[in-house]
């Protein structure tokens, strides 16, 4: 399965929020922050579905072998940058 990468960058002047499902994990991106997602994508269909909740919140559903999903934050590992939701 080929690897794919999708990067989300905050070019707004206020924070935005990106939720990566189905884990669920949520990241707050301050202006200028980048959130790359790297995973083994299916060769057919969309690599990911992105649902916009509003102008500052979006939900990303990567498609493929998600056990290999790597989430980076500004070029480094995203450990400690995610919020885990209490309610699913």
Give tens-digit pLDDT for 21-41.
887 789 999 999 999 999 998
The boundaries of the domain holding residue 48 are 3-77
Residue 35 host element (H or E): strand 34-41
Spatial distance between the Cα atoms of 36 and 44, rounded to a whole number of angstroms: 21
- 42 within some domain: yes
Return phi, psi of residue 48, to 5°.
Answer: -160, 155
Q: What is residue 85's DSSP assignment? A: P
**71: nearest Cα among 41, 42, 36:** 36
Q: How many domains does the chain fold into?
A: 1
Q: Answer whether residue 6 shows pLDDT above 80.
A: yes
Q: If pLDDT is split at 50, 70 and 90, which confidence band does 84 have? A: low
Give the pLDDT of residue 1: 65
Strand 3-9 to strand 34-41: parallel, antiparallel, or no bridges (unpaired)? antiparallel
Which two structure tokens, joined as six digits, stand for 48?
């990911």
- 71 within some domain: yes
Q: What is the pLDDT of residues 40-83, one digit of tens each?
A: 988 888 989 999 999 999 999 998 867 788 999 999 988 888 87
């Amino acid at each position: 399965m080929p690897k794919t990468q999708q990067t989300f960058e905050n070019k707004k002047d206020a924070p935005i929020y990106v939720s990566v499902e189905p884990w669920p994990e949520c990241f707050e991106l301050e202006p200028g922050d980048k959130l790359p997602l790297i995973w083994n994508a299916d060769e057919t269909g969309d690599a990911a579905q992105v649902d916009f909740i509003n102008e500052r919140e979006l939900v990303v559903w990567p498609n493929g072998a998600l056990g290999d999903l790597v989430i980076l934050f500004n070029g480094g590992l995203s450990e400690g940058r995610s919020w885990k939701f209490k309610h699913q």
